[in-house]
């Protein structure tokens, strides 16, 4: 088989017995179908021409019995074929989902959700259909042709050779069709994935679309993708429509040829009329599966194109080397960066970063957008690997820590928190699914979320809408913060975790965080200096490099980026409160 099917073989090989039994039943049904021409031959020669009318009831009964047995075995082979395809698809779907959950962060940086959904549904179903239906039908076609030719040779070798002369034409046509249609079906799968991506993005961003009155733009974009999908389907249809009529024409030419030559043989008494009828019935028996050749090639080509897209998920390399992950145990929280450099392609996003965070210390990261703050903290939980340099946690290279053990002890609150479509309680206890009610409520209280949760209709068991719909940005952020607190991590990463709350709420959360951060190594990314001025060390980043480091009191009196940001924020605050502000050269207010 094609390399695609060989590489996907580990999923269907355990279920090959289903296929083998199905094919065995298919052989029986094909042989039973070939009994009809012999029965017709006897009806014409013995009953119609020979006058042996007593045979007619028995021959009719034979046809009924053959039809009943054939129907029974047809059901069995179809059921087992579907079982073979469905069980394979079940395991393949699980493997795809497992692989998606284990792909590195970098995989999701360059792929659309809609395209992934298309691969998990339409592509997987196309592959399943070929296993469940296409293989049996291709084998049925081969059996029909082989048995039919042998049967025709036994009836009349002259007519058999006349018909066999047409088979090479059919074979060449089928090969040309497959060569042309395979790229077309690859394009169909690709354009379908792009279409699904547009739909998915539009649904997720519907509020943004409406707020900018861009409905017409989005409709036009969808129409463009939809037209591309339509055109790729029409290209396949044009190929199909050129191929199918030709197959049908060749089949009908074979019938005409048999009628002409067979009629001459009957008239010259070289062949009985019953033999000609039986021969023609074999021809018609072969024409139906041969007329399906285009459909079967279509099914096979779609499945091959779909399998290639599935393999892109299954064979995507894990960018994170797992060969050295052997260290387990409790993390104390000492984090050291040694000359760490990160490059994405030709772009350097972090260059020669070095610092040490002792257990229990709070490290704050400040810088303009794109300075590399999130990239730096993403290395601690090993969402990405360093390009150059080394990151040590408790003196051990981060690449040597067992990944699951490491991430269970590094709590991360992202700038854009994600909540699942389930209860508040389930969202908070996501990292510790068996946490007690008291522990969940304590974590919510520390994140300053308890008050608003108690005010919800069902309290902690209120259902949250998709992606946290129904909650404000600040409420979602506090639930995400409670989720990280409940994990009781040794290292806590707050990636601008208070950006979506007002200043009063931010102050209340910070008071709670003072207790949470005690004894934990904490990294705070923030744009508001008020969120990080209590940190033990503030690292100021610019274009991926640490340009300043120190405490708030040290940096605010030192000329540089930190002082400029402080002055801007202080002046903005003063302008909002109509307070006159004068700042000295040392960055303090006058």
Sorted by sequence, the CB contacts under 8 Å of residue 162 that are 6+ apart come out as 254, 257, 258, 261
3-state secondary structure 341-406: EEEECCEEEEEEEEEEECCCCEEEEEECCCCCHHHHHHCCCCCCCCCEEEEEECCEEHHHECHHHH
The pLDDT, as a whole number, for residue 583 is 45
Q: Is the pTM higher than 0.75?
A: no
Enter the DSSP assignment of 53: T
Determine contact, residues 319/104, Cβ cutoff 8 Å.
yes
Determine contact, residues 423/367, Cβ cutoff 8 Å.
no
Q: Which two tokens stand for residue 398?
A: 């981060």
Give the C-alpha separation, 549 to 536, whole Å: 10
Convert 39-64 to b/e letters by CB count within 10 Å (16 or more is b): bbbbbbbbbeeeeeeeeeeebeebee
SS3 418: coil
Q: If we measure between CA atoms, which residue out of 427, 478, 432 comes closest to residue 452? A: 478
Q: What are phi and psi of 391, to 5 degrees?
A: -120, 125
Determine contact, residues 502/478, Cβ cutoff 8 Å.
no
Give the C-alpha separation, 259 to 277, whole Å: 10
Give the C-alpha separation, 578 to 583, whole Å: 16
Host H or E run for residue 318: none
The pLDDT, as a whole number, for residue 577 is 46
**Which CATH entry fits the domain spanning 3-314: 3.40.50.720, 1.10.3720.10, 3.40.50.10540, 1.20.1560.10?**
1.20.1560.10
- Is 415-488 assigned to CATH 3.40.50.300? yes
Enter the DSSP assignment of 104: -
Q: What is the dihedral of CA 143, 149, 153, 159, to 10 degrees?
A: 160
**Which CATH entry fits the domain spanning 331-409+491-590: 3.40.50.300, 3.30.2350.10, 3.40.50.450, 1.10.268.10?**
3.40.50.300
The pLDDT, as a whole number, for residue 211 is 59
Answer yes or no: same fold for 3-314 and 415-488.
no
Sorted by sequence, the CB contacts under 8 Å of residue 251 that are 6+ apart come out as 287, 290, 291
- Domain ranges within the chain, ordered by starting residue: 3-314, 331-409+491-590, 415-488
Give the C-alpha separation, 581 to 572, whole Å: 10
Q: Could you tell me which residues are beta bridge partners of residue 410?
A: 491
**pLDDT tens for the 590 residues of the chain, in order:** 458 888 998 999 999 999 999 999 988 888 887 777 777 777 776 666 666 777 778 777 877 887 788 888 888 888 999 899 989 989 998 988 888 877 777 777 777 777 788 888 888 888 988 998 888 888 888 888 888 778 778 777 887 777 777 777 776 776 676 667 667 777 777 787 777 777 767 766 666 666 566 778 778 888 888 888 888 878 877 776 777 677 667 767 777 777 787 788 778 777 777 777 777 777 777 766 766 666 677 778 888 888 888 898 888 876 666 667 888 889 999 999 999 988 776 777 888 899 999 998 999 998 887 788 888 888 888 888 887 899 999 999 998 998 888 888 888 888 777 888 888 999 999 888 888 999 999 989 888 888 889 988 888 998 886 656 678 777 888 888 888 888 888 999 888 766 656 666 666 667 667 777 778 899 988 877 877 888 899 999 888 888 999 999 888 888 888 888 888 877 654 444 444 444 444 444 44
Give the C-alpha separation, 456 to 472, whole Å: 13
Give the C-alpha separation, 135 to 26, whole Å: 11
Tokens 């021969």 belong to residue:
279
Enter the DSSP assignment of 94: H
Q: If we measure between CA atoms, which residue out of 499, 561, 556, 545 comes closest to residue 524? A: 499
Q: If we measure between CA atoms, which residue out of 35, 38, 28 comes closest to residue 75? A: 28
Determine contact, residues 409/416, Cβ cutoff 8 Å.
no
Q: If we measure between CA atoms, which residue out of 32, 126, 34, 137 comes closest to residue 81? A: 137
The pLDDT, as a whole number, for residue 363 is 92
Q: Which two tokens stand for residue 561?
A: 């980026």
Sorted by sequence, the CB contacts under 8 Å of residue 208 that are 6+ apart come out as 214
Sorted by sequence, the CB contacts under 8 Å of residue 50 that are 6+ apart come out as none
Determine contact, residues 372/544, Cβ cutoff 8 Å.
yes
Q: Which two tokens stand for residue 279?
A: 């021969």
The pLDDT, as a whole number, for residue 153 is 80
Determine contact, residues 227/233, Cβ cutoff 8 Å.
no
Determine contact, residues 363/534, Cβ cutoff 8 Å.
no
Give the C-alpha separation, 394 to 381, whole Å: 13
């Amino acid at each position: 088989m094609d390399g695609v099917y060989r590489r996907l073989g580990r999923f269907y090989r355990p279920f090959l017995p289903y296929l083998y039994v199905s094919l065995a039943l298919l052989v029986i049904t094909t042989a039973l179908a070939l009994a009809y021409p012999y029965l017709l031959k006897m009806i014409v020669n013995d009953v119609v021409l020979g006058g042996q009318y007593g045979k007619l009831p028995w021959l009719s009964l034979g046809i009924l019995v053959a039809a009943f047995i054939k129907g029974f075995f047809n059901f069995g082979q179809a059921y087992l074929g579907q079982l073979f395809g469905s069980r394979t698809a079940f395991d393949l779907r699980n493997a795809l989902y497992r692989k998606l959950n284990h792909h590195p962060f970098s995989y999701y940086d360059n792929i659309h959700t809609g395209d992934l959904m298309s691969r998990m549904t339409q592509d997987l179903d196309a592959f399943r259909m070929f296993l469940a239906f296409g293989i049996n039908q291709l084998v049925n076609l081969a059996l029909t042709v082989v048995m039919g030719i042998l049967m025709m040779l036994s009836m009349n070798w002259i007519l058999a050779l006349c018909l066999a002369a047409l088979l090479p034409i059919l074979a060449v046509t089928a090969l040309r069709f497959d060569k042309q249609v395979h790229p077309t079906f690859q394009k169909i799968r690709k354009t379908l994935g792009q279409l699904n991506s547009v739909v998915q993005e539009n649904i997720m961003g519907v509020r943004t679309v409406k707020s900018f009155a861009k409905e017409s733009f989005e409709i036009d974009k969808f129409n463009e993708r939809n037209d591309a999908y339509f055109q790729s389907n029409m290209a396949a249809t044009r190929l199909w429509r050129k191929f199918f009529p030709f197959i049908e024409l060749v089949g009908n030419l074979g019938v005409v040829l048999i009628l002409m030559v067979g009629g001459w043989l009957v008239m010259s008494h070289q062949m009985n009329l019953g033999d000609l009828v039986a021969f023609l019935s074999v021809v018609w028996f072969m024409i139906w599966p041969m007329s399906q050749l285009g459909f079967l090639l279509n099914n096979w080509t779609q499945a091959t194109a779909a399998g290639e897209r599935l393999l892109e998920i299954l064979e995507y390399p894990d960018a994170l080397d797992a060969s050295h992950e052997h260290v387990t145990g409790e993390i104390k929280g000492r984090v050291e960066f040694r000359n760490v450099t990160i490059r994405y392609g030709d772009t350097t996003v972090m260059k020669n970063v070095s610092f040490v965070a002792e257990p229990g210390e709070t490290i704050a990261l400040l810088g303009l957008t794109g300075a590399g703050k999130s990239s730096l903290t993403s290395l601690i939980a090993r969402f990405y690997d360093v390009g150059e340099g080394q990151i040590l946690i408790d003196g051990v290279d981060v690449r040597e820590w067992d990944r699951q053990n490491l991430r269970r002890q590094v709590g991360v609150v992202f700038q854009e928190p994600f909540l699942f479509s389930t209860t508040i309680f389930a969202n908070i206890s996501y990292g510790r699914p068996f946490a007690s009610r008291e522990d969940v409520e304590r974590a919510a209280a520390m994140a300053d979320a308890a008050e608003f949760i108690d005010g919800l209709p069902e309290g902690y068991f209120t259902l949250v809408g998709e992606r946290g719909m129904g909650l404000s940005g600040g409420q979602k952020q506090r639930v995400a913060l409670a989720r990280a607190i409940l994990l009781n991590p040794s290292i806590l990463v707050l990636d601008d975790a208070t950006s979506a709350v007002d200043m009063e709420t931010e102050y209340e959360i910070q008071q709670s965080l003072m207790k949470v951060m005690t004894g934990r190594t904490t990294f705070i990314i923030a744009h508001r200096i008020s969120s990080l001025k209590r940190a033990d060390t503030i690292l100021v980043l610019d274009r991926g490099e640490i340009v300043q480091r120190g405490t708030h009191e040290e940096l605010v009196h030192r000329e540089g980026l930190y002082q400029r940001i402080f002055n801007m924020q202080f002046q903005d605050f003063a302008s909002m409160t109509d307070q006159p502000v004068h700042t000295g050269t040392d960055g303090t207010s006058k």
